Chains A and B, each alone.
Chain A
Amino acid sequence: MLGLIEALIGGIIQGGVYAAIALGFSLVFRVTGVVNLSQGAFSVLGAMGMYFCQVKFGIPILLSVIIAVLGTALFAAIVGATAFVPAVFRLPVSNTLMLTAGLLTFFEGVTLVVWGNQPYALPTFSGEAPILLAGIRIPTQGLWLSSGSLAIIVGLWWLLHRTRMGQALLASAENPLAARLMGVNVGRMMVLAFALAAGIGALTGVLFAPVAAIQFDSGRMLSTSGFIAVAIGGMGTFGGAVVGGLILGIAGQLAAFYVSSLFATSLSLALLIVVLIWRPAGLFRAGAVQRVDVRVNSIIHRALVRLPGRAAIALGGVLLAVFGCLPLLPLPPGVISSLAISMIIFLAVLGLDVLMGYTGQVSLGQAGFMAIGAYAAAILATTHEWPPLLATLAAMGLSLVCAFALSLVTGRLRGHYLALATLTFGLLVDSLTVGLIDLTGGPSGLVGIPSFAIGSFEFDSSEQMYYLALGIAAVVIVLLEGGMRSSFGRSLQAVRTDQLAAAALGVNVPAVKLAALCISSALASLAGSLYAFQFHFLSPEMVSTPRSFDFISMLVLGGEGTLIGGLLGALFLTMLPTLVQSLAVYKTIVSGLLLVGAILLLPEGLFGRMALFVARRWTSGARGKE
């Protein structure tokens, strides 16, 4: 009984953290209509700032808190004004969502460069000894945390409902046009909301850091939990954020208490899936989220990248020749193995291009299918000694089954909820790869995975794996190109931009989405299997959710809807840290900056730009503009 009460108290404390982060989400969502995936990173920035003020420079606690919170808010204001808010005005919601994923990576990169990758633990505010109340232990930092969360909730309510600035914020949220007519600078209000949410996040991080070691990538976990809390409660409602956070915190602690902490994440994710199926809009209905209506017309699209058939064949031939000859150059072995890895990863990005680039279905769960492919093939080939080829095919079959199951949840979802559901799927797979120790080897991973083989021919060098992946990629591209240039590809693209009009022309929208998801997950699964055979070793973080974000960066950087584009992105982001070892620490920050930059400045991607150039040359002198 005591244990249960302590678990409940722990749940409330944890829930307070989630609620505070969820409030930051809700605030930005109400004012801008976008879920800011980088919200959790503000907590990390705040906590890191606090550590340096308090521990390094010995500044008193209260002053340190103020410096950390204001510093984070100021930094967020700058980023908000230069990247986030311009994107909100110019880009469709799904691209802005991707932009915030880029910001998350960027903030992680900043933290990594400034503070390194070790975990930081702040001293507690008032000693380590817990308070004993009728035999129940309550950690003192928990009291600080819950009172801090309460202060944030009350403070935000007061700010929104009792100050002129808050009224202007709410007005911008409910009707931006009317707010503008009344003289409210909506853009400035968006920056303000972004900075305010950052301040809330930083304060939460400062209070939270003493009980949980914080490191550069803790923001992902916090963002995800906050996002889930918001989705449970209902996006855009402040009450919903608080209730959602508390439910998530308590459910997690109870699951850890009754079942096992290894499955606590899985259970809270299962909770979310139930909510998504049962009440897709969350437990609380948002009062007035006008942004969706207002933004419905902002489907600004990248320039059309259309290579004439012959130009495409010529380009494909040249590329194949170039990549076929690459290993013949005197390259150091490390480079060859990076090339092989890039090529394997490209297969997963190819799949994502069909799903996201062509069909417009945002997926933050592509790494989940990669993990299924990697683990299923590795386990079958290692523990059960199946031939690698058969193991790979069986893994693809399993991935297709999982894709079908996922489509039952995601079939009706769009936009943010689709992103959330796929993210949940990815995290669920993550937690299973860590949790099912008997099967997966848990956090320490699987060793002794054989080389890939077809019959008796073993692909046991990086060079052979490179050619294998290149061959598969070439065949897959040729096949997909055939599909995309025909009726099938047109129905995918129709679904991407206008599901209603597509259905009115007889396109079976759910079937099209399922087909795209199947292609995408089969390719991710194949990439995962080859990845495991290439490394002869597999651990959860090799195929976990951060990979999904990498895939998106690669795809956007290379060019969505171009098939080949993803190769440039995959090569660039995989090879860069290998080629310039000393710069490896900058990989994350560069990757984040590239994604943000590509979304804002290069919507067609690198390959798209090149293809546009080639296409223009090819048809130069011919009729029409681009």
Chain B
Amino acid sequence: MLTSALSIKGVSRSFGGVLAVDDVSFEVAEGSLCALIGPNGAGKTTLFNAVTNIFPPTTGNVTCFGHALRDMEAASIARLGLIRTFQSARVFPGMTVLENVLAGGHLRTRSNPLAQMFYLPSARRDESRLRKKAEALLDLIGLSHMAEVAATDLPMGAQKTLEVARALMAEPRLLLLDEPAAGLNDTETAEIANLLCAIRDAGATILVVEHNMSLVMGIADHVVVLDAGRVIADGTPGEVQADRRVIEAYIGMEG
């Protein structure tokens, strides 16, 4: 068994008496691509927000690479190497596409603001290193030709991939993606799937929330199914697909 990148133990979160996430536990092995799926309203995003302390868990513990996340600020969590994206693409308005990706490199900046202000050679080298990397990432997601465009002028699908590129710029050890394929067409979804596999093969661990079963089943190493705030299945894609409760949760919802 590989070591665990993210370990969620007995996490619950309630909003004014409504239990949105109910005693959830699972592990994400280092280097794996884990998918968290479930019907609408199953509590997937709430679980993400609980893990990253945006809405801290009411009870339970989360550890990331052995560090307990309780009471940690969002920025400190990011410093552990856990980088997340948001369900509604949150690119920075008022910045270009390239600047958005560069903004993701905050943690990878080696020079300090004073050095940047005084144009010290170290700062300029650092900036051009970051810039090359950002350009390479834009190339990877096929947005190089849009580098100088205002990020908010991109179509929604491109904004979502841009957000993934921005997260990659931070060189995450563990990447939490919240519905990266929502609102994308089939081609774009396939591209995202390829991108996710490439990220995992490059050594990062990924936990992806996805609504779309077919995307996830093809690429995930490990699938956790959430329904009404509880884990109803946890295993390989094959095991999960065969699980009666999973089928009920999905068919039941759609029927």
A residues sitting closer than 8 Å to B (CB atoms) are 299, 301-304, 306, 479-480, 482-483, 485-488, 490-491, 493-494, 496-498, 500-509, 515, 561, 623-625
Contacts and interface: CB of A to CB of B under 8 A. Distances in A.
Interface in B49-92: 52, 54, 73-75, 78-79, 83-84, 86, 90, 92
Given A479-B117, A483-B116, A506 B52 contact: no
A623 B96 contact: no
11 contacts: A303-B150, A482-B119, A487-B127, A490-B106, A493-B103, A497-B94, A497-B95, A500-B86, A503-B74, A505-B83, A624-B146
A306 B78 contact: no
Contacts of A501: 86, 90, 92
Contact of B93 (A482, A497, A503, A507): A497
B78 A506 contact: yes
A479 B167 CA distance: 29
Contacts of A500: 54, 74, 86, 90
A516 to B, nearest CB: 11
Given A505-B83, A508-B75, A482 B99 contact: no
Contacts of B78: 503-506
Interface string B105-149: 111010101001111000100110010000000000000011011
B170 interface: yes
A207 to B, nearest CB: 45
A488 B113 contact: yes
Contact of A490 (B103, B145, B152): B103
Contacts of B146: 624
Given A487-B126, A497-B93, A504-B74, 17 more contacts: A480-B117, A483-B113, A486-B111, A486-B123, A487-B111, A488-B117, A491-B106, A494-B95, A496-B94, A498-B92, A500-B90, A501-B92, A503-B78, A505-B78, A505-B166, A506-B83, A561-B94
A304 B147 CA distance: 13
B102 interface: yes
A507 B94 CA distance: 17
Nearest to A308: B148
A306 B148 contact: yes
B117 A483 contact: yes
Nearest to B90: A501
A304 B95 contact: yes
Contact of A487 (B92, B109, B149): B109
Given A490-B103, A500-B90, A507 B75 contact: yes
Nearest to A488: B113
Contacts of A624: 145-146, 148-149
B149 A625 contact: yes
A580 B52 CA distance: 59
A505 B170 contact: yes
Contacts of A507: 75, 106
Contacts, number: 113
A353 to B, nearest CB: 14
B104 interface: yes
Nearest to A297: B88
Top 5 nearest A-B pairs (CB, nearest first) are: A506-B78, A503-B74, A486-B116, A488-B113, A506-B107
B75 A506 contact: yes
Max chain A C-beta neighbours (<10 A), residue from B75, B130, B145, B167: B75
A488 B74 contact: no
A561 B109 CA distance: 23
A304 B127 CA distance: 21
B145 A623 contact: yes
A265 to B, nearest CB: 37
A432 B225 CA distance: 63
Contacts of A479: 117-118
Nearest to A476: B117
Given A491-B103, A500-B90, A623-B145, A304 B75 contact: no
A45 B21 CA distance: 57
B69 to A, nearest CB: 13
B84 A487 contact: no
A505 B103 contact: yes
B51 to A, nearest CB: 12
A102 to B, nearest CB: 22
Contacts of B127: 485-487
Contacts of A486: 111, 113, 116, 123, 127
A45 to B, nearest CB: 37
Contacts of A503: 73-75, 78
A296 to B, nearest CB: 11
A17 to B, nearest CB: 40
Contacts of B92: 493-494, 497-498, 501-502
A561 B107 CA distance: 24
A506 to B, nearest CB: 3
Given A487-B116, A490-B95, A624-B146, A505 B152 contact: no
A226 B153 CA distance: 41
